[in-house]
Amino acid sequence: MSESNELKLSPVEAHKAESRYLRGTLAEEFADPALDHLSEANKSLIKFHGSYQQEDRDARKNRSKAGVGKVYMFMIRLKLPGGKLTAEQYLAMDDIAGQYANGSLRITTRQSFQFHGVLKNNMKATMAAINATLITTLGACGDINRNVISCPAPLPDPTRRQMMADCEAVAAHLAPRAGQQTYHEIWLNGQPQSFDNVPPEVAEPIYGKTYLPRKFKVAFALPHDNCTDILANCLGFLAITENGQPVGYNLYAGGGQGQTNSKPDTYPLLAQPIGFIELGEVLPAAEGIIKLFRDHGNRVDRKRARLKYVLNDWGLEKFREVFYRDYFPHPRREPRPVPITGLDLHHGWHRMAGDRFFLGLSVENGRIKDEGKLRMRSGLRAIVAQYRCEVRLTPQQDILLCGFTAADRPGVEALLQEYGIPRPETLSQVQRWSMACPAIPTCPLAITESERALPAVVDQLEAVLRDLDLADEPISVRMTGCPNGCARPYQSEIGLVGRSGTKYTIYMGGDAFGRRLNAEVLDGVPIEQIVPRLARVFAAFKAERTNGEPLGDYCARVGLEKLKQLVSSPL
């Protein structure tokens, strides 16, 4: 790359630099009824406020008609550290989904809610309604620290409680300062403030004037319960417990899923261990890693503007050296030898502290809606309204209802039956362990269907696995509509990534606990061929597996060439 090219920053960098701390002309454009969409600069800035401008891609078929253009709408995402909502907040979000969005709530893979289909003239009212519940959307998207995630299960475990407290503390510490004032000014009629004469290091002490090169993701996990897929994150805190009490974390950095088909120098990577930190060092470590990314991340090529490429290009030792020397003035300690050993979906009934219980429910692809006999949205509303239970969302797109007494349980079970909501133990393992991104019709990056396509694929998988007597195997299947990998397909045992039209790339050999990347087995597979081709692998797995060997471990053991041979031979 020439020097002139090196100095040619991404256009988004100019949008941020000229935005006056995320202000731009958002207020003016949203107030203009003649505009149905945003300028390019404001399309970049709205992301920091927790929203994406999108297009109803189902409406494209009508474009050939005279006078019919694009149908614009907005997605709004909550900033919800640890996925926690009170009963009142949940009910308010359900109201917003019905009043301003498309009548559904979408659980994200970062344990938050998204609203889809919000119209431009309803944006300010929607934002105000969200903030009235003391929930914000600021920083849920954009080149900034995104929603910080942690195991949401309220089990009677001191380490889990410490993790949730640290999760909330990191989210607060990494929140923007000047951007917060801008957010209130635009959406909540806050008093306008000028930062013209304020140095960037004062206005935004962590981010500066141009924020981060791209998004930044933080997760907390336990060694025996990696339900947050910690190794897919830019920054990970793996909790270390001694004698039943938390003592610190193994710090991980440099994970990420996304890649671009046309750029072979982009690829998914797992986070690498940096060192062990004590409990009092969590905030300095988080700030240090994010500042390292701020200063050394790629601001020229947004396809390679993630922390994972800084670490991978430098190498682990140089990354550690720069981090401890320039960004983290604390002792350098080797990571504790504590591996990741499990992942809990937290389905079913579990005892909390004292005499309380929580119930974990599986939500297919995270979409809370009423459809046919399955009235998930109405049923959850009825349970939350009657029992005023706390709600927690999981990074596996599921929901936990928390705080029931033993006497409440029969009534809750009756409501589940009334609204057709299945208990998790009645669902197949492959459905419980499946995830999909929204994709078409809302995501502008989607190449193929995902959320709307995966249920039919799962139905076919259930039949094949049942015939092979493998129905009880917890096989993780994740589908995305493009290579960006929002449902973390590159860590799953079976990853299905949109390629074109109705064709997908099949990846295999990952790990259900998030410890290993999978590999491409076959590209350009029509959706109707996915399960017939995978069935050959399942048959070989049944015949050749060692005692208790999971599918992902089997695939890794037998090797990529055998998998390719099994999957690619003529049907």
DSSP structural state of residue 571: -
Does residue 437 have an active-site annotation?
yes
Helix (H) or strand (E) holding 215, with range, is none
Catalytic residue among 141, 151, 234, 482: 482
Does residue 389 have an active-site annotation?
no
> Within 10 Å of residue 341's Cβ, how many Cβ atoms?
12
d(CA 512, CA 357): 27
What residues contact 187, with CB distance under 8 A and at least 6 apart? 49, 124, 127, 128, 131
Cα–Cα–Cα angle for 163, 83, 153, rounded to 5 degrees: 55
Does residue 443 have an active-site annotation?
yes
Does residue 77 have an active-site annotation?
yes
Catalytic residue among 106, 437, 515, 516: 437
> Within 10 Å of residue 209's Cβ, how many Cβ atoms?
17
- Give helix 527-544 / helix 454-467 axis angle, nearest 10°: 30
Catalytic residue among 146, 294, 488, 499: 146
What residues contact 257, with CB distance under 8 A and at least 6 apart? 232, 268, 484, 485, 486, 488, 489, 490, 491
Does residue 146 have an active-site annotation?
yes
d(CA 273, CA 290): 16
- Give helix 307-314 / helix 282-296 axis angle, nearest 10°: 80
Catalytic residue among 443, 478, 488, 533: 443
Does residue 217 have an active-site annotation?
yes
Does residue 466 have an active-site annotation?
no
Does residue 141 have an active-site annotation?
no
Catalytic residue among 308, 486, 488, 533: 486
Catalytic residue among 110, 217, 356, 478: 217
Catalytic residue among 47, 79, 110, 215: 215
DSSP 290-316: HHHHHHHS-SS-GGG-SHHHHHHHH-H
In the chain, the amino acid numbered 376 is: M
Catalytic residues: 77, 146, 215, 217, 437, 443, 482, 486
